Amino acid sequence: MNKIVKIFMSLFLVFALILAGGYFYFRNNLSPVNSSQEINKVEFLVEKGSTPNVIAKNLKNNNLIKDEKSFLAYVRLNKLDPQLKAGNYLLTDAMSVKEITDVIIKGVSIQKRFTVPEGFTIWQIAELMEKEKIMTQDEFWNLAIEEDFPQFDFLNGLNKDKHRMEGYLFPETYYISETENPKKIFEIMLTQYQTVRDRLPENKSGLNEREALILASLVEAESMASKERPVIASVFLNRLELNMRLECDATIQYALGKRKEIVLYSDLEIDSPYNTYRRTGLTPTPICATGESALRAVYQPEDTEYLFFFAKNDGTGEHIFNKTYAEHERQMRDWGYRQ
């Protein structure tokens, strides 16, 4: 009898372990494919008449789920089959199976997509919004200047003028419904800035958050090559430490209200708080929409002694960096900028 009991208990234990293993395997397959901070967005189409099997296969092909059978088991265990709706959805590989099915069940499809490029000024963003028929410029400026957004602490204390939102409407591709409320669109963009801000590395610049954003906007406007941004940030920080004028051409263009391929000597005389050729320190506000790369460059700048840089005229968008003015002038002559 004892032998039979032992056999039974052994079989029961094996069965329990198999069940436990299966349960944890199933739970793992319902978790997000990607747990890193760098998520991938996917426009996912569920065509009319698509079966759960087809949806599962397409989700797997788009690397949005780990396992088709686990997705199907979740859907069927929760009796969700008839609730899955056709539509074009924005999904990410950081979403769990539950989050994905919730989106498809709600049936809120992507209807409009717009992109705010890195380096756009607040005026360019206003023009973009009207061009894309997202909101009129009057609506945009009323929100940018007058509207309160108390949930965003970084806006506290800023002057309610046309510069208030500069740098905070984060450059990104956004997906919204055709009838999205203009204020909600602002909140979506401000939330994106907040999200990026909160995942930035330790701030080693010596600047506060506002100052770092302002400097990052200068780095954004001056750099095309992402790898150079921490070096450009170091140049500006070195100049600030020595109380040297930043002499940033992009600030002149901002003061002029237009982009110019060549900034003339006469342009440097413009009387503006954004003229960093005549005034020391940072500009009063950011000068453009600033991406995460430029923000990271300021938070974690290179350790250099560079004080000068200029753009190569070879179409690469890269720069030459120098420690002294004499070397800077010599290099400028070598590159044909000086006689």
Q: What is the pLDDT of residues 107-148, one digit of tens each?
A: 877 778 899 999 999 999 999 999 999 999 999 999 999 999
Among 25-39, 101-115, 181-195, 323-337, the minimum mean pLDDT is found in 25-39
Q: What is the mean pLDDT of residues 50-78?
A: 92
Domain residue limits at 229: 209-334
The answer to whether residues 165 and 256 belong to one domain is no
| Residue 1 maps to a domain | no
The answer to whether residues 41 and 103 belong to one domain is yes
> Which of 57, 76, 110 delimits the end of a domain?
110
Percentage of residues of the chain with pLDDT beyond 70: 91
Mean pLDDT (the chain, rounded)? 88
| Residue 66 maps to a domain | yes
Reduced to 3 states, what is the DSSP secondary structure of residue 333?
A: helix
Is the pLDDT higher at 28 or at 85? 85
The answer to whether residues 215 and 303 belong to one domain is yes
- Number of domains, the chain: 3
The answer to whether residues 304 and 194 belong to one domain is no
**CB-CB contact of 122 with 169 (8 Å):** yes
Is the pLDDT higher at 235 or at 5? 235
**CB-CB contact of 199 with 226 (8 Å):** no
Question: 301 pLDDT exceeds 70?
Answer: yes
| Residue 21 maps to a domain | no
Q: What is the pLDDT of residues 139-172, one digit of tens each?
A: 999 999 999 999 999 999 999 999 999 999 999 9
Tell me the residue length of the chain: 339
Question: 13 pLDDT exceeds 60?
Answer: no
> Which of 198, 220, 255 delimits the end of a domain?
198
Burial of 263 (0-12, 13-18, 19+ CB in 10 A): middle
The answer to whether residues 152 and 262 belong to one domain is no
Question: 197 pLDDT exceeds 80?
Answer: yes
| Residue 170 maps to a domain | yes
The pLDDT confidence band at residue 9, using thresholds 50, 70 and 90, is low
| Residue 20 maps to a domain | no
Question: 28 pLDDT exceeds 90?
Answer: no
Q: What is the reported pLDDT for 191?
A: 95
**Distance between first and last Cα of the chain:** 105
Compute how many other C-beta atoms are within 10 angstroms of the C-beta atom of residue 210.
15
| Residue 32 maps to a domain | no
> Which of 92, 110, 128 delimits the end of a domain?
110
Give the single-character DSSP code of 227.
G
| Residue 95 maps to a domain | yes
